[in-house]
């Protein structure tokens, strides 16, 4: 059985975006048309749309109700202990529950697609793994060479809903076929990083060092990271990540608001992409907050909601 896929088109420019509705509502292709040329700026494994490939390894995985790892695949909240599936090869849960499940479409037109996932309706077995029910709605919208992700998170339950949210975009390097990886420069204004032990935060932050410093147009071949960067710089409430191509003078920018205090930067072993992943909380937030470390864990009371918009644009 084929997995449902929807292709959005911007009629004015011809830009396209492809979303795998039946597997995480993942936008796995974004193809802006720049100066008459169409480029796919997202990396995905061949055949990703078949559903057989790793859901967190391509396109834009949506990470909810927690991004990153939960140590030991268990956590405590509200006096209860929750055991999750270990999925990272190290005994930890990773990247939430919605990135590999089928969503349902609630609105569809030429350049806009809205999908929703609610645990109690779409996979009731998940209710045993979290303190409450939860609902996430994501609207993808194409506006010329810009892809907008409008996110709404709601608590439909009668008890408090803890959560974290993030995205895990794989930006193709280089995204112009004739360009060279050496011509790519990456900028992310982060002044510190969270110290990790076996990829889990220790609770301590350190000032940014030369290895992790992306504040000044870092050449892609020098970047080899799987790190949680913090103390991001925000201009009028927004942080901008840039990927610039010195060969073509094209650039890709991702813009997100100050509800995302950290961003994971990850360079996959295949070296064909870079992931810059804004998170609303530090990974493993339940453990950190139980130790008195502010990790950004959010809690929605019944009927409360959270909204944000992430913008990816190419010029």
Q: What is the CATH number of the domain that holds 21?
A: 2.70.98.10
Domain presence at residue 305: yes
Domain presence at residue 54: yes
Q: How confident is the model at residue 115 (pLDDT cuts 50, 70, 90)?
A: very high
The answer to whether the CB of 309 falls within 8 A of the CB of 257 is yes
Domain presence at residue 196: no
Cβ-in-10-Å burial (0-12, 13-18, 19+) of 5 comes to middle
Domain presence at residue 161: yes
Domain presence at residue 35: yes
Angle of CA points 69, 70, 72, to nearest 5°: 120
Q: How confident is the model at residue 1 (pLDDT cuts 50, 70, 90)?
A: low
Range of the domain at 153: 5-180+262-314
Domain presence at residue 176: yes
Alpha-carbon torsion 188, 190, 195, 200, what sign? negative
pLDDT above 70 covers a percentage of the chain that reads 99
Look at residue 30 and tell me whether its pLDDT is greater than 90. yes
Q: In this predicted structure, what is the pLDDT of residue 151? A: 98
Domain presence at residue 229: no
Lowest mean pLDDT segment, chosen from 2-6, 40-44, 299-303, 307-311: 2-6
How large is the average pLDDT for residues 124-146? 98
* pLDDT tens sequence across 44-96: 999 999 988 999 999 999 999 999 999 999 999 999 999 999 999 999 999 99
The answer to whether the CB of 49 falls within 8 A of the CB of 28 is yes
* pLDDT tens sequence across 228-258: 999 999 999 999 999 999 999 999 999 999 9
Neighbouring C-alpha atoms within 13 Å toward the C-beta of 82:
21
Cβ-in-10-Å burial (0-12, 13-18, 19+) of 23 comes to buried
Domain presence at residue 276: yes
Q: How many folded domains does the chain comprise?
A: 1
pLDDT above 90 covers a percentage of the chain that reads 97
């Amino acid at each position: 059985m084929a997995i449902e896929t929807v292709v959005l088109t911007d009629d004015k420019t011809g830009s396209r975006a492809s979303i795998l509705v039946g597997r995480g509502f993942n936008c796995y292709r974004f193809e802006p048309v720049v100066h008459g040329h169409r480029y796919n700026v997202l990396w995905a494994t061949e055949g990703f749309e078949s559903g057989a490939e790793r859901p967190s390894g391509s396109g834009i995985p949506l990470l909810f109700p927690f991004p990153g790892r939960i140590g030991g695949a268990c956590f405590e909240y509200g006096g209860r202990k929750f055991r999750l599936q270990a999925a990272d090869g190290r005994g930890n849960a990773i990247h939430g529950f919605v990135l590999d499940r089928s969503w349902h479409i609630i609105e569809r037109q030429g350049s806009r697609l809205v999908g929703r996932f609610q645990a109690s309706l779409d996979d009731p077995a998940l209710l045993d793994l979290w303190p409450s029910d939860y609902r996430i709605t994501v609207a993808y919208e194409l506006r010329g060479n810009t892809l907008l992700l409008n996110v709404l998170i709601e608590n439909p339950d009668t008890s408090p809903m803890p959560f974290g949210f993030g995205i895990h975009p794989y930006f193709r390097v280089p995204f112009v076929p004739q360009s060279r990886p050496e011509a790519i420069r990456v900028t992310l204004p982060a002044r510190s990083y969270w110290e990790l032990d076996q990829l889990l935060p220790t609770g301590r932050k350190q000032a940014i060092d030369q290895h992790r410093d992306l504040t000044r147009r870092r050449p892609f071949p020098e970047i080899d990271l799987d790190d949680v960067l913090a103390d991001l710089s925000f201009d009028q409430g927004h942080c901008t990540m840039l990927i610039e191509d010195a060969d073509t003078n094209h650039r890709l920018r991702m813009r997100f608001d100050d509800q995302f205090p950290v961003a994971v930067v990850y360079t996959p072993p295949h070296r064909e992409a870079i992931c810059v992943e804004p998170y609303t909380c530090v990974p493993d937030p339940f453990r950190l907050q139980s130790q008195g470390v502010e990790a950004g864990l959010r809690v929605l009371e019944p009927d409360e909601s959270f909204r944000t918009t992430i913008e990816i644009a190419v010029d």
